[in-house]
Structure 1
Amino acid sequence: MARRRKLETLSDYQRALKKKFGLGERCEYMPWLRVQDVNSCGNSGKIEGLKFGRTHHTLSEHESCLFYIAEFSDSIIDIREQFPLLPLDLSVKIAQTLGVDHPVNPQSPGKEINVMTTDFLLTRTDGTTTWYEAVSVKPEDKLKDQRTAEKLDIERTWWQLQGIPFHVFVMTEQNKIQSKNIQWFTAPLRHGASFPDDLMDHARALTHHGTVLIEEVCNTFVQEIGIEHDDALVLFKVLLATKQVVVNLDKPIADTGIVEVLNVLSQDMECHHAS
């Protein structure tokens, strides 16, 4: 099990930077804070990424919610969580300018200034232009807290000085449903599930538009392809996770056993996409 790092003094911060925490991109990025580095309320987690070839560290259910949605988005080409606002003296100057207290580390002997982090730095593209967006994740009730607002102002100003848009993400019932759906059908891929291309093609050809019972889809796979029922469910999930079958994410899937199929990738579309 990875050890908890001490992040209490300036020398600790310098040591972390030398070890590349908070630096790098995609598979080489290491978050400034990891699950084992902070006190957990039981909602933190390590998520095996599908896009970026590394484990992602989320420190709350709300952060996990955003992560699944962001990773599934075609426009997002990198996710860096727990991104440090460095150099430290910049966030200190911003706090002074705003007339608010900069966060300190209560565990440090001399109440050292703490390195602030933004929950997510996203890299996005529209196919032509690439840009960054910073996102702070907050429960809705926390937004009414004055101290939370002060720290958000420091973050927002820090990113504005970098010329990067800053957003606040609040987990709603709707995006929670979307996230849970994505988590449900991407789980097999995160655990290494895979199927031969010809079997995937066959399963996709058996999948039709409209609202269907997952049980019926799996039964069709069992009868027509000749696989076990458990494997049929995993196969269906992989079709959804790889977007060969596109479904409505706004309705709960696992809890209802019902899915609305919006589109099925055709053979022609797949060949065009591959080219």
Structure 2
Amino acid sequence: MGHGRKLKSLEDYQRALKGKYGIGEGSSYKPWLRIQDVKSKGKRSLIYGRKSRRDHHMMSSIESEYFYLAEFSNNVLDIREQFPLLPLNFTQKIAKNLGVEHPKHPETKEPIIMTTDQLLTIDSPQGKTYHAVSVKPEKDSDNRRVLEKIDIERVCWELLGVKFRYFTGNELTRIQSSNLRWATSPFRESAMSFSCEQIDHALCETAVGQFFIEDLCNRLISLEIASNEDALLLIRYLIAEKLIDVDLSVNIPESGLIDIKFVTQSSRENLYGAS
């Protein structure tokens, strides 16, 4: 994971920029802050991106929740987390105009480089666009200081012509995200290999409707489409690759039920297009 970096002074920020932190896209992007760089009250985690092909640094469970939802969207091409708002005097001027204090380091009291939790690159009819998202738990919604900092972010992105959103999540998004984590986790760093023939056979034997996952697994096994060890993985693969469209509003692994809404005819016809 590497050692943490000190980001306490202007010299530290200049060193970080020389190290290309907060710069790049896709696999080359390096977040301004990594999980080893800061102390966080939240549940920190590394998530290997299926689209970016790199580790994403999540500082809290709510950030991870949003990441899984955003990454699964066909329109999202890239996610850059802990994205720096530069230059420093830009956010300082915005804070001054808003009449709020600019964030500063608790030890040095020097102004810090502000970051946006996730900056999405969106494939839109107009071409590539960007969508900045501040991801905070719902309990912070009435925290005045948190809202002041979000306001600085909002104005910053609006001046840059970028859409800005504040995401707090809810019970539904938590369940949806949990399902996506369950479906995609085996196919992140090392993709599971299923043959086209195997996948197409599985799709032919899959129907729209609600089923017990165990029954679907047993059917795949009895038809010799998948082994005992791979049957559940194959179902998760079909969801992860969007070859079947399922209801994500019910916790699939917890309930043992899967509600299939649509099935593609073959592995060559991805339901949502290339991801």
Letter paired with 2:128:
T
Alpha-carbon distance change, 84 to 227 in structure 1, aligned in 2, over 3 angstroms:
same
* C-alpha contact 1:202 1:225 (8 A) present in aligned 2: no
Cα drift, residue 149 of structure 1 = 1.4
Aligned to 2:260: 261
Give 1:48's aligned residue: 48
- Could you tell me the percent identity over the aligned residues? 46
CA contact (8 A) 1:80 1:122 kept: yes
Work out the CA distance in 2 between the residues paired with 1:86 and 1:42.
25
Residue aligning to 1:184 = 182
CA distance in 1, matches of 2:94, 2:125: 35
Q: Is the 8 A contact 2:208 2:260 kept in 1?
A: yes
Q: Distance in 2 between matches of 1:261 and 1:271?
A: 15
Q: CA–CA distance in 2 between the matches of 1:254 and 1:57?
A: 26
Report how many residues are paired: 272
| Aligned pair partner of 1:156 in 131, 154, 158 | 154
Preserved contact between residue 253 and residue 259 of structure 1 (Cα < 8 Å): yes
What do the CA deviations read for 1:156-177 (whole angstroms, capped 9, x no partner)? 1111110111110011000000
CA distance in 2, matches of 1:174, 1:226: 33
Structure 1 match to 2:217: 218
Q: What residue is the counterpart of 2:202 in the other structure?
A: 203
SS at match of 1:4: coil
TM-score of the pair, normalised by structure 2: 0.95
Shift of 1:130: 2.3
Single out whichever of 37-46 and 163-172 deviates more from structure 2.
37-46
2:103 is the counterpart of 1:103: yes
Indicate the structure with greater helix content: 1
**What CA distance in whole angstroms lies between the structure 2 residues aligned with 1:226 and 1:160?**
52
Corresponding residue for 1:126?
124
The runs of 5 or more residues in structure 2 that have no matched partner are: none
- C-alpha spacing 1:208/1:188, structure 2 compared with 1 (3 Å): same
Mapped contact 1:203–1:225 kept (Cα < 8 A): no
Instruction: Quote the Cα distance in structure 2 between the aligned partners of 1:116 and 1:271.
Output: 39
Deviations 1:55-106 (Å, cap 9, x if unpaired)?
Answer: 1111000000000000000011110100000000000111111111100011
Q: Does 1:65 align with 2:62?
A: no
Deviation at 1:3, TM superposition (A): 0.3
Does the 8 Å contact 2:137/2:169 carry over to 1? yes
Instruction: Give, in whole Å, the separation in 1 of the partners of 2:86 and 2:181.
Output: 32
In structure 1, the residue matched to 2:171 is: 173
Name the structure 2 match of 1:139: 137
2:18 alignment counterpart: 18
Tell me the distance in 2 between the aligned counterparts of 1:166 and 1:112.
Answer: 27
CA contact (8 A) 1:246 1:261 kept: yes
Using the TM superposition, name which of 126-135 and 138-147 deviates more.
126-135
Alpha-carbon offset, residue 148 of structure 1: 1.1
Deviations 1:153-210, CA, capped at 9 Å, x for gaps:
1111111110111110011000000000000010110152221111111111111110
Deviation, structure 1 residue 226: 5.3
TM score, norm. by length of structure 1: 0.95
- Tell me, which stretches of 5 or more residues in structure 1 are unaligned? none
Matches of 2:125 and 2:66 in 1, distance apart? 22
Q: What amino acid does structure 2 have at the position aligned with 1:149?
A: L
